[in-house]
């Protein structure tokens, strides 16, 4: 098929999806109106939950207080509740009074090893163990807001169960930020992948999954994109081993520090000279480097850690291989040895194009028309595993106060990251509206592909 014919076919297919979406929107409009009304009534509760969770943050796989709060709330709404999924995860099932489809809604619960500055009356003073060391803990990525909003959605939809067609699976997921009790290289599993292995999507099995993340952005604005949305991530560990000796006589040593400097410089060429950036972006970052004990000793080894981010599986495999070869060969040329360990973390988060097109009217409705296309995110998300199992849609919610420039707002994972709570009701509306819109729409005539679509489009 020629590029011109393919683009015309794609445009026709997208137009057809939008027409179906418009019809579904009209059929579910009464339910969407009720979601909006009920979201307004739970807004104050959502804010209280968010502040409570924010004040008592918990690291990955240690979210016992948070999961208990969630489970008690879901049971109080009359939902079927399963706890202890992937250690601390919670699943809730709401079955509507009318037959229909099944949809999953996901929120993550874990916090970060970050110290929160003073200022908020509900600022965190919590401390927990992170890889065996006690650290300060803060909800510096907004998962407190995600959990509170989905609790609000559960209350909204539970109050509509007599009119609800189909089933809603609520996923309160632990450990999205990665494990805190062990290292990823240990081989143990966590988060979304472990929830799926423990049957999160078995009974009931959803036909689609939706997720939402708060970000710096215009207050209450939703943004999303189709296809690759957030990067895959791989953890990188490099150990450079040399020969220890006196710093004043380096000719008697093999210096792993100077070798590591060469390795770090060489790794920059993996992306700039090896990856085809016109097809797909890639990032290789070294985040830590440790070695040596005092100024006049050449140490025997240096350890580095970093991250690799890509948006396509072929590019991912190429970059991973190039990183390992580059580090090993540069070290060898210096007489040293580099041991490279690359641990796969998360897959690329892919928004299903057909699902995104079908849900676009629902997003515009929930955000009062404030919808934009999001840029590629350099961050990664283990929502990607849910979206590999069934078609998924991941959207971003702007939470920057109106009197601030989102471009200058502190980003996620920063201790100054701030959530304007006026946006929370928009998040409740969004997830609730997506749910009822999907449940009220006809099943797809052809089941969408469950594997991520490649970012790179090869010529045909």
The pLDDT, as a whole number, for residue 16 is: 52
With a cut of 50, say whether residue 5 has pLDDT above it: no
Going by C-alpha positions, the residue among 10, 12, 24, 11 that lies closest to residue 444 is: 24
Helix (H, G, I), strand (E, B) or coil at 266: helix
In a domain, 250, yes or no: yes
The residue among 346, 367, 389 that closes a domain is: 346
Q: How many angstroms separate the most distant Cα atoms in the chain?
A: 82
With a cut of 50, say whether residue 159 has pLDDT above it: yes
Backbone φ and ψ of 41, nearest 5°: -75, -25
The pLDDT, as a whole number, for residue 9 is: 44
- Active-site hit among 311, 346, 388, 394: 346
What is the number of residues in the chain?
Answer: 460
Distance from C-alpha of 230 to C-alpha of 393, rounded to nearest angstrom: 12
Distance from C-alpha of 197 to C-alpha of 189, rounded to nearest angstrom: 9
Q: Are residues 314 and 370 in the same domain?
A: no
Please give the C-alpha separations between residue 348 and each of 112, 314, 454, in angstroms, as whole numbers.
Answer: 22, 12, 9
The residue among 322, 346, 370 that closes a domain is: 346
What's the pLDDT band for 421 if we cut at 50, 70, 90?
very high
User: Tell me, what CATH number does 365's domain have?
Assistant: 3.40.630.10
Distance from C-alpha of 425 to C-alpha of 419, rounded to nearest angstrom: 12
Half-sphere exposure of 77 (CA within 13 A, CB side): 26
Q: Please give the average per-residue pLDDT across 236-252, as a whole number.
A: 98
Going by C-alpha positions, the residue among 423, 447, 47 that lies closest to residue 218 is: 423
Q: What is the pLDDT of residues 428-457, one digit of tens each?
A: 999 999 999 999 988 865 554 444 455 554
Alpha-helical regions (H) of 276-339? 313-333
Q: Are residues 102 and 216 in the same domain?
A: yes
Q: Pseudo-torsion of CA 382, 388, 390, 394, nearest 10°? A: 50
In a domain, 447, yes or no: no
Q: Are residues 161 and 265 in the same domain?
A: no
First vs last C-alpha separation in the chain: 7
In a domain, 4, yes or no: no
In a domain, 458, yes or no: no
In a domain, 134, yes or no: yes
Range of the domain at 372: 13-226+352-439
Q: Please give the average per-residue pLDDT across 302-320, as a whole number.
A: 97
Q: Are residues 245 and 110 in the same domain?
A: no
The pLDDT, as a whole number, for residue 459 is: 38
Phi-psi region of 344 (alpha: psi -120 to 50; beta: other; left: phi over 0): beta
With a cut of 60, say whether residue 8 has pLDDT above it: no
More confident residue, 28 or 1: 28
More confident residue, 6 or 186: 186
> How many domains is the chain partitioned into structurally?
2
Q: Please give the average per-residue pLDDT across 356-383, as a whole number.
A: 97
Distance from C-alpha of 205 to C-alpha of 228, rounded to nearest angstrom: 24
Q: Are residues 94 and 237 in the same domain?
A: no
Helix (H, G, I), strand (E, B) or coil at 171: strand
In a domain, 448, yes or no: no
The pLDDT, as a whole number, for residue 20 is: 53
Q: What is the pLDDT of residues 41-60, one digit of tens each?
A: 999 999 999 999 999 999 99
The residue among 294, 324, 346 that closes a domain is: 346
Element of type H or E holding 241: strand 227-241
The pLDDT, as a whole number, for residue 170 is: 99
User: Tell me, what CATH number does 336's domain have?
Assistant: 3.30.70.360
Q: Please give the average per-residue pLDDT across 260-273, as a whole number.
A: 97
The pLDDT, as a whole number, for residue 345 is: 97
With a cut of 90, say whether residue 164 has pLDDT above it: yes
User: Of all residues in the chain, what percent carry a pLDDT higher than 70?
Assistant: 90
DSSP letter at 340?
A: E
Distance from C-alpha of 259 to C-alpha of 239, rounded to nearest angstrom: 11
Q: Are residues 50 and 167 in the same domain?
A: yes
In a domain, 315, yes or no: yes
Q: Are residues 237 and 384 in the same domain?
A: no
User: Is 394 annotated as catalytic?
Assistant: no
Cβ(386)–Cβ(211) below 8 Å:
yes
The mean predicted confidence, pLDDT, of the chain is: 93
The CA radius of gyration of the chain, in Å to the nearest whole number, is: 24
With a cut of 50, say whether residue 123 has pLDDT above it: yes
Q: Are residues 283 and 139 in the same domain?
A: no
Q: Are residues 302 and 429 in the same domain?
A: no
Q: Check the CA dihedral 37-41-46-47 and report its sign.
A: positive
Q: What is the pLDDT of residues 61-107, one digit of tens each?
A: 999 999 999 999 999 999 999 999 999 999 999 999 999 999 999 99
**Number of C-beta neighbours around residue 320 at 10 A:** 19
Q: 12 exposed, middle or buried (CB, 10 Å; 0-12, 13-18, 19+)? A: exposed
In a domain, 415, yes or no: yes
User: Is 346 annotated as catalytic?
Assistant: yes
With a cut of 50, say whether residue 2 has pLDDT above it: no
With a cut of 70, say whether residue 24 has pLDDT above it: no
The pLDDT, as a whole number, for residue 28 is: 82
Q: Are residues 80 and 210 in the same domain?
A: yes
The pLDDT, as a whole number, for residue 23 is: 58
DSSP letter at 454?
A: P
Q: Are residues 267 and 219 in the same domain?
A: no
Q: Are residues 356 and 338 in the same domain?
A: no
- Active-site hit among 80, 198, 313, 421: 421
Cβ(88)–Cβ(110) below 8 Å:
no
């Amino acid at each position: 098929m020629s590029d011109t014919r393919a683009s015309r076919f794609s445009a026709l297919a997208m137009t057809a999806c939008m027409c179906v979406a418009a019809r579904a929107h009209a059929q579910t409009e009464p339910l969407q109106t009720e979601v909006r009304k009920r979201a307004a009534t739970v807004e104050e509760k959502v804010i209280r939950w968010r502040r409570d969770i924010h004040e008592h943050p918990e690291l990955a796989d240690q979210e016992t207080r948070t999961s208990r709060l969630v489970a008690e709330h879901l049971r109080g709404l009359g939902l079927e509740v399963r706890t202890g999924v992937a250690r601390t995860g919670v699943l809730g099932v709401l079955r509507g009074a009318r037959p229909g489809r099944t949809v999953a809604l996901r929120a993550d619960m874990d916090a970060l090893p970050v110290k929160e500055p003073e200022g908020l009356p509900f600022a965190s003073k919590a401390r927990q163990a992170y890889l065996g060391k006690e650290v300060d803990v803060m909800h510096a990525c907004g998962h407190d807001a995600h959990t509170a909003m989905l609790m609000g959605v559960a209350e909204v939809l539970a109050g509509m169960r007599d009119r609800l067609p189909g089933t809603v699976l609520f996923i309160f997921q632990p450990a999205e930020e990665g494990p805190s009790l062990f290292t990823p290289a240990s081989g143990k599993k966590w988060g979304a992948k472990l929830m799926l292995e423990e049957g999160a999507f078995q009974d009931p099995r959803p036909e689609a999954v939706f997720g939402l993340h708060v970000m710096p952005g215009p207050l209450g604005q939703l943004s999303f994109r189709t296809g690759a949305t957030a990067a895959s991530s791989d953890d990188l560990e490099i150990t450079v081993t040399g020969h220890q000796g006196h710093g004043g006589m380096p000719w008697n040593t093999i210096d792993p520090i100077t070798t590591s400097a060469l390795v770090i410089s060489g790794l920059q060429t993996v992306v700039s000279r090896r990856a085809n950036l016109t097809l797909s972006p890639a990032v290789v970052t070294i985040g830590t480097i440790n070695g040596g004990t005092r100024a006049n000793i050449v140490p025997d080894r240096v350890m580095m850690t970093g991250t690799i981010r890509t948006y396509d599986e072929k590019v991912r495999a190429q970059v991973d291989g190039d990183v390992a070869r580059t580090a090993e060969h540069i070290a060898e040329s210096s007489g040293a040895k580099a041991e490279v360990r690359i641990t796969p973390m998360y897959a690329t988060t892919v928004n299903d194009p057909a699902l995104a097109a079908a849900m676009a009217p629902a997003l515009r409705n929930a955000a009062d028309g404030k919808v934009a296309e999001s840029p590629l995110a350099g961050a990664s998300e283990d929502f990607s595993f849910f979206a590999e199992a069934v078609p998924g849609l991941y959207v971003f919610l702007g939470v920057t106060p109106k009197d601030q420039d989102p471009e200058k707002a502190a980003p996620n994972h920063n201790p100054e990251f701030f959530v304007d709570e006026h946006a929370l009701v928009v998040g409740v509306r969004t997830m609730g509206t997506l749910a009822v819109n999907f449940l009220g729409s006809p099943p797809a005539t052809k089941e969408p592909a469950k594997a991520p679509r490649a970012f790179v489009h090869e010529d045909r």
